[in-house]
Every structure is written in structure tokens, then in C-alpha cells.
Amino acid sequence: MPDLATLGIEPLYRLLSRFMALDPADRAALSQLEGAALCSKPARTDIAREGENPTVIRLLVSGWACRYKDLPDGRRQIVGFFLPGDFCDLNVYILSELDHSIGSLTAVRYYEIQPEQFQDVIDERPRLTRALLWHEMVASGIQRQWLLSIGQRTPVERLSHLFIELYYRLKAVGMVHDHAFELPITQHHLAEANGLSLVHVNRTLQEMRREGLIELADRQLRILDFERLKRTAMFNSNYLHFNRD
């Protein structure tokens, strides 16, 4: 098991490769990003806060983070997960104020890339530019899918769908083995991401285990019946736009 913290741009490279084949020159250009400042944060820490003026582009290398929004009275909604290889905020630096927060869920490592440095990398590299645009479009598609889940799917369907989404995204960066992957977040996080109470998430997970859909213990999630889970979630992978593989 390789130490992901040492992998640099490898997860990003693997991810973009799901969309289009990149050539060695593209890969070399991406490698320049490894010159950026590498930051580490412990679990449960704010990486950026709503209202701040964004100035850097963050590329997650290891660990899990999330985008979230909260209300004055403390209610909180996780609106997306960041996995290794994900950019947290590719274009927000054109805005004067962040409209959401970013927080680590586990211990994380990420590059803080200056917009100019980033520009240097994609300049004259239309394939890379295209691949990064794709990354943004997928992020947007995932948000739409979450809206469908929270608005219309039942709790079992919702969690099923999320698990399959995570399965595909983690597989793209080589973090799935044998239909199992590490799920390093708490039931509380699952609740905040799915618009459910913690208690209800717990009972829903039990139901899914009873149904033989998943196994979940010690932060390891194993999908026991992939096809049935997909049917339960009414999962259509088109929104991830994985052209290759």
C-alpha cells in the first residue's frame, strides 16, 4: 500500500485520465504543480471560511475534505466531498468573496497553488485546459445529483447513491480494492451531507447491512452486491463523464 501523501500529482493525473489520455508533456506540465507549497492540516479543521477572499487554488493530495455551508443557527450542510486529486476551488479566485467554507474531515495534505503559477501550467496546453474544465463540469454534475438525492431519494437510496459515487471516484484514483474502500468519515458527516439526522443515518445503515447491500466497520466500506446497490440507488454513472476505462 503506497503512502498517498507522497504521491504528489499522481491522483490528479489518474483522475484526468478518466476523461482523456494525457501525453507525457501534459504530465510534465502538471508536475510543475509539485513545486507549490504543500500544506498539512489535522482532521476537522477549516481550510477556508465563507466570506474570505480566495487567493489560492487548492489541490488535495491526501485525506478527505468537504465543502460546506452553514446557517447562523448552526445547521450545517455538506455540499460535496473532496477526495485526493480534487481541486477545491479551481476558479473561485475571480470572485471577491467565498460563498462557502472548506473543511478537512481527516488529516489532509494539499498544495496551495498561486493563480499565476497555475496559469503557467495550462498556458499553451489546450488538452490540460480542457481536462480541467471537465473536472469542473463533473463537480457541477455531482452537485446536481446530490440535489436529486436529497430532494427525491429515500434515505436508503440516498446513502446507496453516495456510496456508489464514492466508489467510482475513489476507484479513479486507485483507492478501491475488491469493491471495498476506506470511508474515513463519521455517521455525523454522512448525516450532514444527506440532510438526515445522525440517528436516522445510523438506522438506515443498519437496514442496508441487514439487506446485505454493504458491510461497514472500522472505517472500511465494502459493497457486497454492487448491482443491487446500483439498482437501489437508481444510479446512472453518466454524470461522472468517465469517457475512458
Minimum CB distance to a second copy smaller for 73 or for 227: 73
Q: Is 198 in the site for DNA (CB under 7 A)?
A: yes
Q: How far is the CB of 191 from DNA (least distance, A)?
A: 7
Minimum CB distance to DNA smaller for 54 or for 155: 155
Q: What angle do CA 135, 171, 35 make, to 5 degrees?
A: 55
Minimum CB distance to DNA smaller for 147 or for 199: 199
Task: Give the residue from 127, 147, 126, 138 showing the smallest Cα distance to 87.
Answer: 138
Q: Is 216 in the site for a second copy (CB under 8 A)?
A: no
Distance CA 214, CA 225 (A): 7
Residues 142-181 that bind DNA (CB under 7 A): 154-155
Q: Is 243 in the site for a second copy (CB under 8 A)?
A: yes
Q: How far is the CB of 2 from a second copy (least distance, A)?
A: 32
Residue 187, Cβ density class (10 Å: 0-12 exposed, 13-18 middle, ≥19 buried): middle
Among 109, 153, 169, 189, the residue binding a second copy under the rule CB under 8 A is 153
Which x/- pattern over 177-196 shows residues binding DNA (rule: CB under 7 A)? ---------xxx------xx
Q: Which residues contact 88 (CB under 8 A, 6 or more apart)?
A: 47, 48, 57, 58, 59, 60, 65, 67, 82, 102, 110
Q: Is 197 in the site for DNA (CB under 7 A)?
A: yes
Which x/- pattern over 220-239 shows residues binding a second copy (rule: CB under 8 A)? --------------x---xx
Give the C-alpha distances (Å, rounded to integers) separating 132 from 24, 148, 201, 211. 17, 25, 34, 39
Q: Is 212 in the site for DNA (CB under 7 A)?
A: no
Which entry of DNA, a second copy, none binds 161, CB below 5 to 8 A by partner kind?
Answer: none
Q: Are 153 and 163 in contact (CB under 8 A)?
A: no
Task: Give the residue from 136, 86, 147 showing the smallest Cα distance to 111.
Answer: 86
Residue 235 backbone phi and psi in degrees, to 5: -85, 130
28's enclosing H/E stretch is helix 24-31
24's enclosing H/E stretch is helix 24-31
Taking residue 102's Cβ as centre, other Cβ atoms within 10 Å add up to 24
Q: Is 199 in the site for DNA (CB under 7 A)?
A: yes
Query: Which residues lie near DNA (CB under 7 A)?
Result: 154-155, 186-188, 195-200, 202-203, 205-206
Sites of contact with a second copy (CB under 8 A): 50-51, 67, 69, 71-73, 75-77, 79, 91-92, 94-97, 99-100, 130, 133-134, 136-137, 139-141, 143-148, 150-153, 194-195, 234, 238-239, 241, 243
